[in-house]
Structure 1
Amino acid sequence: MPPPRRLRLDDPNASGLLCGHHPSHLSPARRWATQALRSTPCASRPLVAALAELHANALAHTASGLPGGRVRIEIERCPALFLLKVTDDGPRPGTQAPALPEVIHHPETATGGGFAAEGGYGLALVESMALYWDFVGDPGEALTVRAAFARSGHIRDHNR
């Protein structure tokens, strides 16, 4: 299996990586992101953790996780923000309704009691650390999840 490959992007403040369908590409993608951010480990930690979750979600829930599948990752370094984009290959063949990115809140885990149902943790983690996140694309097509992170590494204050 070929290793992930760097993408040539026109913007000098942007970096890109194309990964294959195998979960072994998760670790090199995290290392690449840490280098692409050109920042301190503390400042890069939230984005790198979110990238790992979004990458894993793409492999688990879309055609990106099938043989020949791909995950495209882009990072843009802006003056006050890091912008992350993770694009999948669209829904798996044969799926009835294409799944859209959704955070599943489990009230019992907010108070520390009980176990949450499986699912929703990846985007819940992204939501807890990103200043903002959304997705673009049409159901049934490739989707790109986008998230913005403070260059300082500070995460969003949920008490505001």
Structure 2
Amino acid sequence: MSFTRPPLDLPRRIRCTDPEQGSLECGHQLWHLKAARSWASHVARATPACADPLLVSLSELHTNALKHSASGLPGGRVRIEIERRRRLFLLRVTDDGPRPGQEVTVPEARPVPWERGEDGLLVEGGYGLALVDAMALYWDFTRESGGGLMVRAAFDRSGRTRMAA
């Protein structure tokens, strides 16, 4: 008789010993983006105005993980961690690494050309890291030993962004 493990119910909270930290593991489904934003809003314990840069950046980084890595494939995972410090929110979003057959990519915040489509509206896409770069006080990334990419960003808990400073 063979035993197969049932799939974990995702998204799922990961227990942290530090009450100032929260961790969530999401799957490849797009509806997990909404669940992650709701969870992060609760973990931040801040007014909407103060949490907004954190929540917008979380959405962009989570979307990038699903769009550009193996996290977006069936069975893929995205791990999100938020740490509350006295004056900062620290955000970490970790993906599953490159998709099979694709090369490792490096996150890069490029200036947005503000292209307009035929309808006169701004063309969608490419704003993710530009938004994070504008809202975070600092951001960087590291490659995890298992091949995943962790993007880290720090935010002022008052809601002040780097561009407003």
Which residue of structure 2 lines up, in the alignment, with residue 155 of structure 1? Answer: 161
Specify the alignment match of 1:105 in structure 2.
Answer: 111
Aligned position for 1:132: 138
Counting aligned pairs with the same residue, the percent is 56
**What residue in structure 2 maps to residue 123 of structure 1?**
129
1:10 is displaced (CA, Å) by 2.3
1:68-126 Cα shifts (integer Å, max 9, x gaps):
0000000000001000000000000011x2111111224x43xxx75788753100000
Unaligned runs of 5+ in 2: 1-6
Instruction: Tell me which stretches of 4 or more aligned residues in structure 1 moved more than 3 Å.
Output: 113-120
Q: 2:70 aligns with which of 63, 67, 89?
A: 63
More helix by share: 1
After TM superposition, the score normalised by the length of structure 1 is 0.88
Q: Work out the CA distance in 2 between the residues paired with 1:139 and 1:12.
A: 27
Would the aligned equivalents of 1:104 and 1:119 in 2 still touch at CA under 8 Å? no
* Structure 1 residue 140, shift from structure 2 partner: 8.4
In 2: Cα distance, 1:7 partner to 1:138 partner: 19
Q: Which residue of 1 aligns with 2:149?
A: 143
Amino acid across the alignment from 1:143: L
Superposed CA deviations along residues 122-155 of structure 1, whole A, max 9, x for unmatched, are 0000001000000011698101000000000011
Backbone CA RMSD of aligned residues: 2.2
- Answer whether contact 2:90 2:155 (CA < 8 A) is retained: yes
TM-score, normalised on structure 2?
A: 0.85
Where in structure 1 are there 5+ consecutive unaligned residues? none
